[in-house]
Amino acid sequence: MDFGLSEEQELLFENLADLVEREWDEEAYNDCYYNKHCYPRDFIMKLQEAGFTMLGVPEEFGGTPVDTVTMVMFAKELARMTGASLPCASNAISIDDILSFGSPEQQRIVLDYVAQNGSAPFALGFSEPQAGSDSSGILTTATRKDGKVYISGHKTMVTDADTSPYLLCITKNLEEPVAFKAMSMWLVPMDAPGVRLEPLHKIGLRTSGFHEVYLENVELPESSLLGVEGAGFMQLMKNFEIERLMLVAIGVGMAEAAFEEVARYANYREQFGKPLGQFQLIQEKITDMAIKLENMKNIIFKTAWEKDNGRSVQIGSALAKRYCAMASFEVLDEAMQIMGGMGYTEESRISRMWLDARHLRIAGGTDEIMVHIAGRAILKNYK
Ligand SMILES: Cc1cc2nc3c(=O)[nH]c(=O)nc-3n(C[C@H](O)[C@H](O)[C@H](O)COP(=O)(O)OP(=O)(O)OC[C@H]3O[C@@H](n4cnc5c(N)ncnc54)[C@H](O)[C@@H]3O)c2cc1C
């Protein structure tokens, strides 16, 4: 495995660095984050114009195909360069279900929206109050009457429900025979009668909304079904492993950004007549942070390489998700410690990244569920 950059990758990341240098406005982003609670649209549209939001999308859909290693590197680098968690870092994975399983009309909706907004047009409605880690416990149903479909249920913790035109809603098939995890996917317009939102208030990731979504007999045409009825869970699982990798790649990028910032800070901030970096206790923190960063980059790139080389990443992606979710937060926490009191203020971007990275231990499968996936699979290999 060689993770040295190819010529194409070098050019890609040079272009990205130039764009961030020119267009990233930290003050405007803080305003989006702390006051307006919206994505930095102007910056995302610059990424869109430069083709970055279609990275990894097949050519036939107007994208720029790249391998998984490059996609993971891109997600990490974008987070490192901006210190922000931007959803468009992984558009290719978010919209792949629609491009792979959707009708031509559903594909068109998604591609047009990405072209105009730089991000996917739907929020994911999977979790329910009684069904989080145990997703088989969902109760939202789709029933049929007079040629129409009616969706009823309660989704929770839905990111971007307030700004997305659609909900990618997962329902349970209750019709006979009731198969375990027989689920279906529907594209539900958020403005359909019977859809109601109630806000939840996240402590981090404040550029995106977070909502309860109530669905009361929401009437849909049959054409709202996405892919094959009863195969919704399998369709969703197609990308779950890589989605986890892309998610933690953002955490690794933010941890790297914080590391670079505090390593410089430790060289010039003086206490007791010398720079912080001359105290061995601070050197120990810097050393342990560097080890964690090395390990995190190795595990995400190696797992991406395995995916590109046709190997199973069932265990690898769970190990990477669990390790990087914890280690990226630990690096950010130590970065805050080295910054001292100013690290605990909104004036420092380390506190913002610290708030953002904490969710990685929960969303996309919790630390504990990663043990559930990896632990059993590893032990099975030694039977
Ligand atoms: C920032 C953020 C964004 C999110 N966005 C979305 C979204 O857009 N759409 C969506 O559908 N969902 C979303 N979620 C929900 C997310 O998928 C769930 O939070 C996650 O699956 C965990 O479910 P839960 O919160 O119900 O916790 P629970 O499943 O109730 O778990 C609570 C605790 O118990 C542990 N636990 C559970 N089962 C076991 C077990 N078998 N063994 C050991 N420990 C166990 C968990 O690891 C956890 O520590 C988001 C969550 C967050 C934090």
Here the CATH number for the domain that contains residue 137 is 2.40.110.10
User: Does residue 34 form part of some domain?
Assistant: yes
Which of 98, 89, 87, 113 lies closest to 32 in space, CA to CA? Answer: 87
What is the Cα–Cα distance from 75 to 16, expressed in whole angstroms? 11
Instruction: State whether 217 and 256 are in the same domain.
Output: no
pLDDT of residue 270 exceeding 80, the answer is yes
Q: What is the pLDDT of residue 177?
A: 54
Per the structure, the complete domain to which residue 165 belongs is given by 123-229
| Domain count for the chain | 3
Residue owning tokens 């839905």: 158
Instruction: State whether 317 and 362 are in the same domain.
Output: yes
pLDDT of residue 12 exceeding 80, the answer is yes
What is the Cα–Cα distance from 288 to 27, expressed in whole angstroms? 31
Instruction: State whether 71 and 110 are in the same domain.
Output: yes
Mean per-residue pLDDT, 272-296: 98
Q: What is the pLDDT of residue 254?
A: 98
* Average pLDDT over the chain, rounded to an integer: 95
CA 52 / ligand 1 centre spacing (Å): 30
Instruction: State whether 291 and 172 are in the same domain.
Output: no
pLDDT of residue 60 exceeding 60, the answer is yes
* Percentage of the chain exceeding pLDDT 70: 98
- Decide whether any atom of ligand 1 lies within 6 Å of the 194 Cβ: no
User: Does residue 2 form part of some domain?
Assistant: no
Q: What is the pLDDT of residue 1?
A: 83
* Percentage of the chain exceeding pLDDT 90: 94
- Decide whether any atom of ligand 1 lies within 6 Å of the 376 Cβ: no
- Decide whether any atom of ligand 1 lies within 6 Å of the 166 Cβ: no
Contact yes or no for 33/21 (Cβ under 8 A): no
User: Does residue 1 form part of some domain?
Assistant: no
Residue range 229-263, pLDDT digits in tens: 999 999 988 899 999 999 999 999 999 999 999 99
Instruction: State whether 244 and 369 are in the same domain.
Output: yes
Which residue has a Cα nearest atom 17 of ligand 1? 363
User: Does residue 27 form part of some domain?
Assistant: yes
Q: Is the dihedral of CA 377, 379, 380, 382 positive or negative?
A: positive
Largest Cα span, the chain: 81
Our CA dihedral for 6, 243, 355, 125, rounded to 10 degrees, sits at 150
Residue range 172-230, pLDDT digits in tens: 986 655 555 689 999 999 999 999 999 999 999 999 999 999 999 999 999 999 999 99
pLDDT of residue 278 exceeding 60, the answer is yes
Burial zone of 1 (CB within 10 Å; 0-12 exposed, 13-18 middle, 19+ buried) = exposed
Instruction: State whether 175 and 309 are in the same domain.
Output: no
Here the CATH number for the domain that contains residue 21 is 1.10.540.10
Which residue has a Cα nearest atom 36 of ligand 1? 368
Mean per-residue pLDDT, 145-160: 96
Question: In this structure, what DSSP letter does residue 32 have?
Answer: I
- Decide whether any atom of ligand 1 lies within 6 Å of the 368 Cβ: yes
- Decide whether any atom of ligand 1 lies within 6 Å of the 372 Cβ: yes
Q: Which atom of ligand 1 is nearest to the CA of 133?
A: 29
Domain boundary among 120, 149, 182: 120
Which residue has a Cα nearest atom 44 of ligand 1? 368
User: Does residue 346 form part of some domain?
Assistant: yes
What is the Cα–Cα distance from 239 to 98, expressed in whole angstroms? 12
Burial zone of 202 (CB within 10 Å; 0-12 exposed, 13-18 middle, 19+ buried) = middle
Q: What is the pLDDT of residue 150?
A: 96
Instruction: State whether 246 and 225 are in the same domain.
Output: no
Check whether the bond before 199 is cis (ω within 30° of 0). no
**Mutational test site, ligand 1, from 37, 90, 127, 359, max ligand atoms within 8 Å of CB:** 127
pLDDT of residue 140 exceeding 70, the answer is yes
User: Does residue 62 form part of some domain?
Assistant: yes
Mean per-residue pLDDT, 105-125: 95
Burial zone of 337 (CB within 10 Å; 0-12 exposed, 13-18 middle, 19+ buried) = middle
Among 47-56, 106-115, 170-179, 267-276, the least confident range: 170-179
User: Does residue 270 form part of some domain?
Assistant: yes
